[in-house]
Amino acid sequence: MDSAAYELAQVNIGRLKAPLDSPQLKDFVDNLDPVNADADAADGFVWRLQSDGGDATDIAVFGDEWLIVNMSVWRDTNALTAYMYQGRHREMLARRREFFERVAEAMVALWWVPAGHRPTVAEAEERVLRLRADGPTPYAFTLRTSFPPDAAAPVLADLPEDLGCPV
């Protein structure tokens, strides 16, 4: 199977601690555009979910107004990881507990899509639910336990412990 025929989709869902227009979330909201611009310019970035406002904060996920969604497509796990753990994104990731509630269930999922496919929120919700039910599989996995596009044995990653995975 040609891995170039596939791209990596990721969804990251966060439960807000306060409304987006609150003083508590001001730094988060003020950094959305710069962090998204960094992603758009990152090596291996392909696409990100956004509404007319330029981000995805007003796109509903799981029918819960306190949840916000971030969804993007990348060349591969290396490209996504390189972006996540550097610069402004790393800084905001380190501060995630200021903005988002800690949740016990999986809120992040990765999966391979055919090159050119742009996943929908419904598709992302299904992948998150499947990851919650089955744990990491080729259908839905995490950066820590990922699978190659041909769904062979999982690849265990050594991620920075101080930051963990997104939200």
- What architecture is domain 3-156? 2-Layer Sandwich (3.30)
* 29: three-class secondary structure by DSSP: helix
Check if the beta carbon of residue 12 is closer than 8 Å to that of residue 166. Answer: yes
Helical packing angle, 87-94 and 77-84, nearest 10°: 70
| pLDDT above 90 (res 16) | yes
Check if the beta carbon of residue 57 is closer than 8 Å to that of residue 127. Answer: no
Whole-model pTM over 0.85: yes
| pLDDT above 70 (res 135) | yes
Closest CA to 146 of 70, 81, 86: 81
Q: Could you give the percent of the chain with pLDDT greater than 90?
A: 79
More confident residue, 161 or 85: 85
Q: Which two tokens stand for residue 30?
A: 């003020």
